[in-house]
């Protein structure tokens, strides 16, 4: 089965920017980090890593760990087609891990803005600082697991796809393929045992791959690619599947029964109220650094209350004598983050007085905000442009 999977992957894999080999593009490899990495990888392709882990032949084992790590972080909860332009832009801005480690957090958030799940961007920079402080990229699963924000899946992906180490991984795609191949029932097994079984199978597969002399990267990525392109959630294309003869669900005509759905977490409804102070003439709005908020830390957003210099009353409404006009308008929008359904009400208040930025606040252009913004504030800007211009 593994030979079929690995051969299929080599023939059918999609061309994706993070799958390019080392040295095939403009990514600068820091000399100290790269020379140390190379010294751990024998030119014959056989040998041991820092922790004694076997390194496989060079097929597919020349991807730079920075690129693999970055792509894996971006791909969590996000589709390939969305990630590609962000991946390119991010590497243009931060071509090396040292560039990322020393960048301003605001610039990192700006490069990430729109991808969502912003803790990934903060963790990525924390991780970059950790790696740079060590002077080399981690060389083993254990070392990768010490990098902030890196869990067993990401560590397994970087070690197998970049270092060629025979370590397992399980993501949503792998889980779907395994659950169909072996008719794994989460209802029967219970959630914990179901998870453990997935990892047990992944470990078994990767150790067999090593015995067969297959590339660790091709086998691990083969599972993921099969799940992403053939054994898909809806309408799996079993007719094109290299593992059809090995598949229990196919044989028993129960493909659509797997994977069984997880019980959905309860929906949480939240309401947000923000203010858009709009200088229509100059096409600018007032935004606030939202570092202190529970959500979207590191991004800029519309303020929940105006700064004191704008003389608002206790309930936040604009006073006649102040710098702000009384004309107001309400915009409503909705956003979903995991199981949170957020309804946002934005009170638009118009002003004409020229104002300067104050601490934690900035006037930004509606056309080129030049601040890291999340999807909700982008949506409000779009609504303002549609409604008032
Ligand atoms: S035969 Fe169908 S269900 Fe089974 S692994 Fe292949 S694509 Fe998935």
pLDDT confidence band for 56 (50 / 70 / 90) = very low
Query: 127, 102 in Cβ contact below 8 A?
Result: no
Sheet strands (E) in the chain: 47-48, 54-55, 268-279, 284-289, 300-301, 324-337, 340-351, 361-365
pLDDT confidence band for 155 (50 / 70 / 90) = very high
pLDDT of residue 355: 67
Gap between the Cα atoms of 373 and 367, Å rounded? 13
Among 238, 245, 248, 252, which is best to mutate for testing ligand 1, by the most ligand atoms less than 8 A from CB? 238
Give the pLDDT mean for 139-167.
Answer: 93
This model's pTM is above 0.85: no
Among 5, 236, 245, which is best to mutate for testing ligand 1, by the most ligand atoms less than 8 A from CB? 236
Task: Answer with the residue of higher pLDDT: 289 or 243.
Answer: 243
| Interval 248-270: pLDDT, tens | 999 999 999 999 988 888 888 98
For the record, the structure tokens of 54 come out as: 């076997």
Listed in sequence order, the residues at least 6 apart from 306 whose beta carbon sits closer than 8 Å to its beta carbon are 275, 277, 286, 312, 316, 318, 324, 349
Residues found in the chain:
389
Using alpha carbons, select from 337, 356, 320 the residue that is nearest to residue 116. 337
Gap between the Cα atoms of 52 and 34, Å rounded? 19
Q: Which of 20, 34, 72, 92 is catalytic?
A: 72
Residue 72 is a catalytic residue: yes
| Interval 192-208: pLDDT, tens | 999 999 999 999 999 99
For the record, the structure tokens of 278 come out as: 């709009």
pLDDT of residue 315: 46
Q: How many CA atoms lie within 13 A of 27 on its CB side?
A: 28
């Amino acid at each position: 089965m593994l030979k079929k999977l690995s051969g299929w992957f080599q023939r059918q894999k999609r061309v994706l920017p993070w799958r390019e080999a080392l040295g095939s593009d403009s990514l600068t490899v820091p000399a100290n980090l790269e020379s140390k990495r190379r010294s751990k990888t024998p030119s014959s392709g056989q040998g041991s890593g820092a922790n004694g882990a076997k390194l496989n032949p060079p097929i597919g084992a020349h991807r730079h760990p920075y690129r693999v790590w970055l792509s894996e972080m971006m791909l969590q909860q996000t589709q390939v087609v969305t990630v590609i332009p962000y991946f390119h832009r991010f590497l243009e801005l931060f071509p090396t891990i040292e560039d990322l480690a020393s960048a301003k957090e605001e610039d990192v958030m700006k490069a990430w803005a729109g991808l969502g799940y912003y803790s990934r961007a903060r963790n990525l920079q924390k991780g970059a600082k950790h790696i740079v402080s060590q002077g080399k990229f981690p060389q083993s699963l254990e070392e990768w697991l010490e990098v902030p924000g890196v869990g067993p899946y990401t560590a397994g992906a970087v070690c197998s796809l970049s270092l060629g180490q025979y370590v397992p991984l399980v993501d949503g795609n792998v889980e779907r393929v395994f659950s169909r191949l072996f008719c794994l029932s989460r209802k029967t097994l219970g959630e914990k045992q179901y998870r453990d079984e997935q990892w047990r199978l992944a470990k078994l597969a990767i150790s067999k791959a090593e015995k067969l002399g297959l590339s660790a990267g091709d086998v691990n990525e083969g599972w993921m690619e099969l799940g992403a392109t053939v054994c898909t959630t809806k309408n799996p294309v079993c007719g094109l599947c290299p593992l059809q003869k090995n598949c229990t669900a196919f044989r028993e005509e129960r493909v659509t029964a797997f994977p069984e759905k997880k019980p959905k977490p309860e929906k949480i409804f939240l309401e947000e109220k923000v203010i858009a102070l709009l200088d229509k003439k100059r096409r600018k709005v007032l935004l606030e650094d939202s570092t202190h908020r529970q959500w979207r830390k590191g991004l800029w957003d519309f303020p929940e209350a105006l700064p004191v210099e704008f003389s608002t009353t206790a309930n936040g409404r604009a006073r006649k004598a102040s710098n702000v006009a009384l004309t107001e308008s309400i915009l409503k929008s909705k956003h979903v983050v995991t199981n949170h359904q957020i309804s946002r009400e934005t009170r638009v208040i118009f002003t004409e007085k020229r104002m300067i930025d104050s601490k934690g606040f900035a006037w930004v252009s509606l056309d080129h905000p030049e601040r890291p913004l999340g999807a909700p504030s982008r949506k409000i800007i779009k609504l303002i442009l549609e409604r008032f211009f």
